[in-house]
Amino acid sequence: MIAVFGGGGFIGSHLCQRLIDQGKSVVAVDIDSEKIANLLSEDSFTFHEADITDEENDELCREVIKEADVVFDLIAYANPQQYVDKPLEVVELNLFENLKIVDLCEETDTRLIQFSTCEVYGLLGNRDDIVFSEDSSNLILGPIEDQRWIYSCAKQLLERMVHAHGQENQLQYTIIRPFNFIGPQMDYLVESPDEGTPRVFASFMSALLFDHPMYLVNGGTNRRTFTYIEDAIDAIMLILRNEGGQFDREIVNVGHPNNEVTIEEFANRMRTIYAELSPDGTLPELRTISGEEFYGEGYDDSERRIPDTDKLQSAGWEPRYSLEDLLTESIQYYIDQFESELDVQP
Ligand code: UDP
């Protein structure tokens, strides 16, 4: 049995689906099951609606981990707005609560696949080399008052703790660093910008569907490499298979190195594809805004981050979705969903 903590989130829901499709038996733990509603009736799927921060659920977590062959831990706050708004909760959940899962895996001798973030690489600073390698790149963060880095810092300490548990106590683990995964069921959509700040794809998709401005934070000059969720799940399945123990006690970047784009270009590509797929829709205004005005005080940003994917490539992984393809797939999904919701409205 495979346990997926955080199985109801964006990555978790796609992972659970793939595991079930491949005939695996899955137990998911999450506070929400909306994104996996279609799996709840599957015989090989068990869902526990439980908050791991609630001590009452400690026993449940222990039981699930004890029964599992492998544990995926995806539980985290993972949205820059949260790092600025509630930094203490970010550390509480992303570090301390996650360490409980690490301890239980160690206690029960269960393999842990721990999700971290590419954000641990931090600021570009004055580096010449912007391709980040898991075992040799330095992890560089901004000053304490730039609250955004608290997330990266918590995740970095979690990684260091997992590594230390491996070194001192033989914990079997693999750490995954995702690079901006995109696809259906990502975050949430907002009908108006006052309703929240999902990550950039969901934010721009909301603007396109609900006709509010697309905001380019600090002019949209920073760059990201976007990875389609299906490519990401392919990589995660290889890591799970772990042929010949190749991912034992390894940190692995999961990202598409050739899909790098500035956020401004990303917005423009989304507009072009949306206009092609939904010719009757109007295109919203593009507006530049400062990071502070958009997210609040303490916001800072990574300029560039490109993954070195040698580890995955030597295991046979090649991402299949170009930026064009992943945007077309994802935008079409949301247009279809939007239209089907309009159909059911009285
Ligand atoms: N961003 C933007 N407009 C938005 C949301 C995000 O310009 O409506 C920018 C954000 O400042 C960052 C990039 O898009 O430079 C990616 O942000 P995201 O929230 O997706 O996550 P990150 O990669 O920073 O963790």
CA-closest residue to ligand 1 atom 6: 200
Per-residue pLDDT at 123: 86
- Residue to mutate, 182, 186, 194, 199, ligand 1, most ligand atoms under 8 Å from C-beta: 199
Average pLDDT over the chain, rounded to an integer: 95
SS3 71: strand
Please compute the mean of the pLDDT values over residues 320-330 and round it to a whole number: 98
End-to-end CA distance of the chain: 43
pLDDT in tens, 78-127: 998 999 999 999 999 999 999 999 999 999 999 999 999 999 999 876 66
> Using CA atoms, how far apart are residues 291 and 37, in angstroms rounded to an integer?
36
Choose, from 151, 173, 215, 228, the residue flagged as catalytic: 151
| CATH code, residues 76-341 | 3.40.50.720
> Using CA atoms, how far apart are residues 184 and 330, in angstroms rounded to an integer?
6
Per-residue pLDDT at 127: 67
> Using CA atoms, how far apart are residues 30 and 279, in angstroms rounded to an integer?
38
Active site residue 121: no
**81 close to ligand 1 (CB < 6 Angstrom):** no
Nearest atom within ligand 1 for CA of residue 301: 15
Please compute the mean of the pLDDT values over residues 199-208 and round it to a whole number: 97
Whether residue 45 contacts residue 33, with contact meaning beta carbons closer than 8 Å, is answered with no
Q: 174 φ, ψ to 5°?
A: -135, 140
SS3 112: strand
Model confidence, pTM: 0.96
* Beta-carbon contacts of residue 144 (< 8 Å; ≥ 6 apart): none
* Beta-carbon contacts of residue 15 (< 8 Å; ≥ 6 apart): 4, 7, 72, 74, 233, 236
The full set of domain ranges for the chain reads 76-341
Nearest atom within ligand 1 for CA of residue 266: 14
Per-residue pLDDT at 242: 98
Per-residue pLDDT at 125: 63
CA of 200 to the centre of ligand 1 (A): 5
